[in-house]
Amino acid sequence: MTDWTEKYRPTTLSEVRGNNKARDQLEEWAESWDEHRKSVIVHGSPGVGKTSAAHALAEDMGWPVMELNASDSRGADVIERVAGEASKSGTLTAGGAGRRLVILDEADNFHGNADYGGSREVTRVVKDANQPIVLVANEFYDMSQSLRNACETIEFRDVSKRSIVPVLRDICRREGVEFEEDALEKIAEATSGDLRSAVNDLQAVAEETERLTVEDVVTGQRDTTEGIFDFLDALIKEEDAEGALRASYDVDETPDDLLNWIEDNVPKDYAGAELADAYEFLSNADRWLGRVRATQDYSFWRYATDNMTAGVAASRRGDKGGWTRYGPPSYWSKLGRTKGTRNTRDSIAERIAEREGASVATARREILPFLSAMTHHCKNRDLTVRMAATYDLDESEVSFVTGSGKTTNKVQSIVEDAEERKAEEAVEHSGNAFFEAERSSESDGHEPTPDDNSDDQQTLMAADADADSASDPAAADDESSADEPDDDQSGLSDFM
C-alpha cells in the first residue's frame, strides 16, 4: 500500500493545514526574495508540515527543487552540493526568473559537525547564495547563532486537533474507509500536534479493520510503544538479556537518553557486584555512543543498546521484587541549571574559533582555560582589556572568563576601556588618507614609532604581562582588590 503521507502531501501552500500565518510568511519571503536575497530557516516540531510547505512553495512559484538532507550525507558532501546549487545564476532550465529552490532538511544536525567547520561553511554559503535556500530544522537553537542571524526565521507550530481531524476525514473519504468521528478525534488527540504521525496512525489502523472505531484506535495505540518506567521495571527486575533487548525496541527514546535513564535508576535496585557489572556494561555503551558522535556512523548504536539493555539485565543476581520509584535522569536537571553558562561559554568559543582559525572544540577545551588562567579576577588589567577588545566580550562574558562578578566596577571599566581601544584601532587601521597626512605632518620627518597595539593576539600571549602589571602601582591596587572574593561568580573555572 502506498504511504498516505506521501500520497496526500500538499501540492500547494493553500493545502498546508494548521499554520496559516507561517504559510503566508513563507510565501511573502519567496515573492520578495529578489529584494532581500536572504535564506530562511523554517523550524518547528517534527511532522507539522515544514518540508511539505517548502515543496508546496516551490510548486506555487514554479521553481525546480534541489533537496538535501544534513543527516544522510557527510557534512562536506552536503556543503559542497548546497554551495554548488546556491551559487548558480539563473539558467534556461530553471524556473521563473531563473530560480531554483534549495531545501536543506534537518539543518539543525550541522551543529554536530561544527567542530569540522560544517556550520561555519553553511553560514558562508547562505550569505553568498544566488538562489533561495530553505533550511528545515526541528531544534532552532541547536543551530549556530551566526547561522540563525544570517537567515530569516519562520516558526511552524504544532497542528491543532481541529485542523488534523478534517485532514483525516478527507483521507478516509478518498480511500473509502468508513469511520466513527470519535475515532478520528482520538487519533488527533494522541498525536499531540504531529499531523504526519496522525496520518500514519490512521493508515496503520485502517489496514486492520473495515470500519474505523474508537476501540480500534485505543488498541492500536496500546501496542505501539512501551512507557519508559515499564521498560525500566522489566529491564532491572524481570527480563533476561534477550527479553530486555527486545523490550528496548518499543521504547521511544534515543540511545543517549536511554543510557541516562538506566544509569540513574539501576542503583535503586542493584548493589555490590551486580551493580559493578551493570556499570561496566553501561561504560561500554557510552564508548560506543562516543564513536557514533566522533564518526557519525549510527550503525554503532546497536552495540551501545546491546550493552545497556542485555548487559544490565545479565548482571542481575537473584530476583528483584516490590515497587521502585524511578525518576528522570539527574543529568537533565543539571543541563537545565547550567544552560545559561554553557551558552555563554559556547558563544565565546565560537568567536575565538572564528578569529584564530581553530575548531570550536579546540577553543573551548584549550584556549579558553588558558585565557582564564592569565586573566583570573582581572589581575592583569591591561591583558584583560586587550582580550575583551580582541574577542568583543561584554561584561557577562568577561566575568565568565575571569571569574569576576559581572556587576563590579572593575569589570565594567574593563569593558569600557576595551570599547575605546576598538574604536582607536578602527581609526588607526582605516587607511584614511586625511589621517595619514595629519600623522605625517605631526611627525615632522621623524621615523614613526612602531604601534605596540598592532597585534592583539601577540600581546595576549606575552610572557611578561604579569611582570608589567606588578611594576604598576595602579595594577597592584587592582590585584589586591581582585583577591577579595566576588559574590556573583559563574566563571569558566567553576563550570569546568
Bridge partners for 465 per DSSP: none
pLDDT at 223: 41
Phi/psi at 179 (5° precision): -155, 155
Are the C-beta atoms of 78 and 109 separated by less than 8 Å?
no
For 36-66, the pLDDT digits (tens) are 999 999 999 888 999 999 999 999 999 999 8
User: Mean per-residue pLDDT for 396-416?
Assistant: 82
As a whole number of angstroms, the distance between CA 140 and CA 144 comes to 9
Whether the per-residue pLDDT at 221 is higher than 70: the answer is no
CATH of 4-156 among 3.40.50.300, 1.10.8.50, 3.40.640.10, 3.40.50.12500 = 3.40.50.300
Nearest to 143 by CA among 104, 173, 182: 104
Whether the per-residue pLDDT at 1 is higher than 80: the answer is no
For 281-326, the pLDDT digits (tens) are 999 999 999 998 888 888 888 899 999 999 999 999 888 878 888 8
Give the domain ranges of the chain: 4-156, 161-222, 228-336, 339-442+451-495
User: Mean per-residue pLDDT for 381-394?
Assistant: 89
Binning pLDDT at 50, 70 and 90, where does residue 407 land?
low
CATH of 161-222 among 1.10.357.20, 1.10.8.60, 1.10.287.610, 3.30.1050.10 = 1.10.8.60
**Helix-, strand-, coil-residue percentages of the chain, each rounded to 5:** 65, 5, 30
Binning pLDDT at 50, 70 and 90, where does residue 32 land?
very high
Site of grid cell 604579569: 466
Binning pLDDT at 50, 70 and 90, where does residue 93 land?
very low
> DSSP label at 152?
E
pLDDT at 104: 87
For 252-289, the pLDDT digits (tens) are 788 888 999 999 999 999 999 999 999 999 999 999 99
User: Mean per-residue pLDDT for 71-95?
Assistant: 59
Whether the per-residue pLDDT at 463 is higher than 70: the answer is no
H helices of 338-408, in order, are 339-356, 360-362, 368-374, 381-391, 395-402
CATH topology of domain 228-336: Zinc Finger, Delta Prime; domain 3 (1.20.272)
Binning pLDDT at 50, 70 and 90, where does residue 86 land?
low
For 112-130, the pLDDT digits (tens) are 444 445 667 788 888 888 8
Q: Which amino acid is at 440?
A: S
Give SS3 for 153: strand
